[in-house]
Structure 1
Amino acid sequence: MAKKKKEQKRITKKLLNKYRLVILNEDTFEERISFKLNRLNVFVMVTITGILLVSGTTFLIAFTPLREYIPGYSSTSLNLKATRLVATTDSLESRIVVNQQYYNSIKKVLTGDVKTVEFDLDSAVQSQKVNLEEIDLSPSDQDMRLREEVSKEDKYSLFENEKSNSDFSLFSPVKGNITSGYDVTQKHYGVDVAVPKDTPIQAASAGTVIFSEWTAETGYVIILKHANNLLTVYKHNASLTKQQGEQVKAGEVIATAGSTGELSTGPHLHFELWRDGYPTDPTNFVDFE
């Protein structure tokens, strides 16, 4: 026990032994600065200095932009930009899918590539086995309410003539004799209206020009997009007066009639009417004569 106390006193004395740190002029040996120190003071000063350095470094890394220059830490602005780019990329991907569907619809208009509904023989045979006398064909209350709602909506159908009460109407782009009618079996998805060369062609309704270019088979072609997913197509023109992206009003001149393209045999307008990517007979809604 005494030996242990003696050892403790020796360590304490060693820690408290005073030393003088003197800074001298090398040439004159003049004393410039001196400090009285002991081992305990040096240990305390080094510990405090280390704590301050660690605290300062932690503060700089955590709360200042200086951490961007430390390897392993990314820039806050870069993280924000990356997040925005990811969100923008997602929205662009969705937009690309929608645009691709839209362009496919335009492609079908230009090429006449329309899929027909196939006849399912198995379903037809199976339907012949059903005994209609055993089926209750009387409408239910829900069916009657649905029929009333549908009948109200049909009153304002898009495809009505100009005399309907609908806000939407189609006007004849030209007046003339129809030389070739609408025929799906022959992939003729519009009507050919014979008119003199350079006859002004008018927009059937207000809309936006989504295509205004030359094609080898149908010459100068212009396509207008209207409300309710409706497209009107004007082919074999001699010239076009509107460019892609322009807005046009109903009855505004958009082209002049001609006989351009490999499939044309004389001055006329080939006019098509499409909705939701499928053609319909224009004569049901436009009076050309």
Structure 2
Amino acid sequence: MAKRKKKKGNEFSRKKSRWTSHYRMVVLNDDTFEERFSLKLNRLNVFFITAISALLLIVLTTLLIAFTPLREYIPGYSNAKTKSTAVQLTKETDSLRQVLATKDEQYNRIKKILLGDLTFEEYESTTAEDSTTTIQAVPDLSPSEQENELRNEVAKVDRYNILNDASVRTEFVLFTPVSGSLTGSFNPEEDHYAVDIAASVGTPIKAAADGTVIFSGWTVETGYTVIIEHAFGLITVYKHAGELLKQQNDRVESGEVIASIGNTGELTTGPHLHFEIWSDGYPLDPSNFISFK
């Protein structure tokens, strides 16, 4: 038993002496063997010096990356300018998404009116509800009810008179879509937001102004129908056609043939053109701006 303890004590002493035994590192001149530098070391000192050096290196590297612009050179790390740009683009994208959603909703409502799926009164009521909701979102800036009514009246008058402005007339002239006899006049009280022009079957129907075809197709009530979007928020509608010559998304010029007179749809009363003009969702009387004779 005493021998085992003595043996273990000898092993521990040997291991300890191995770590604490001193060594000398000497730098000599290769030609003269003159001693230039010497350093007394042991394994324990070397271990501690290496560990402390590694720890200092890690700390310094962390500080450099965290508090200096050097971090921007690390692959995959975005700099402050890039982050700021990304945040700004995200805000702008969100704003554009909201604007597009609003425009799409308004466009779908107008399209429903033009195709007969939504009455003009229903459109006005839903628009008024949306306006009220938007105003209530900022309570501190909410105008009074009288101010809202006045603004709505002024906006409505402006929409109906858009083509009466002299500056607009000089830049925007409506072309007669077809010549013939007026068999139906503009009458909002009876939900007739158009004029009806009688003409022979096959007579060319022409675009009233430059624009883009946003609908070209068939509906049960109005037959072959073309809807064109123009400048200044104007939309023209051509219903009961016999043949369509333009497709959706086609660009058309003023006076260009887009269809021909027909007698299609359940609501037709004979060969004629049902012609409508809309300004920002409000109907206009075409006979105020175009001579159909």
- TM-score normalized by structure 2? 0.62
Quote the offset at 1:18 in angstroms. Answer: 3.2
1:222 positional shift: 0.7
Deviations 1:153-176 (A, max 9, x none): 9xx962489xx9633222221111
The within-5 A match list for 1:45-124 is: 45-56=50-61, 62=71, 65=74, 76=78, 83=87, 84-85=89-90, 87-111=92-116, 113-115=119-121
| Paired AA for residue 18 in structure 1 | S
The CA distance in 1 between the partners of 2:65 and 2:170, in whole Å, is 69
Q: List, as ranges, runs of 4+ consecutive aligned residues in structure 1 with deviation greater than 3 Å.
A: 16-21, 38-42, 53-66, 75-87
Structure 2 residue 165 is matched with structure 1 residue 183: no
TM-score (norm 1): 0.63
Change (3 A) 1:159 1:273: farther
Partners of 1:46 and 1:95 in 2: CA distance: 61
Q: Is the 8 A contact 1:157 1:166 kept in 2?
A: no
Q: Give the corresponding residue for 1:207.
A: 211
Distance of 2:255 and 2:165 partners within structure 1? 18
| Structure 2 gap segments, 5+ residues each | 1-16, 25-39, 126-157
Distance in 2 of aligned mates of 1:63 and 1:208:
49
Match 1:18 to one of 3, 18, 21: 21
Q: Which amino acid aligns with 1:233?
A: V
Aligned pair count reads 217
* CA–CA separation in structure 1 for the residues paired with 2:165 and 2:203: 27
d(CA) in 1 for partners of 2:47, 2:184: 107
For 1:268 and 1:41, the matched residues in 2 are separated by 104
Partners of 1:109 and 1:274 within 8 A in 2 = no
* Displacement of 1:227: 2.2
- CA RMSD between the two structures: 3.7
Name which of 241, 257, 276 aligns with 2:280: 276
Structure number having the greater helix percentage: 2
Aligned to 2:202: 198
- In 2, Cα distance between equivalents of 1:46 and 1:268: 96
How far apart are 1:56 and its partner, in Å?
4.5
Asked whether the equivalents of residues 243 and 260 of structure 2 are also in contact (C-alpha less than 8 Å), the reply is: yes
Separation (CA, whole Å) in 2 of partners of 1:94 and 1:195: 42
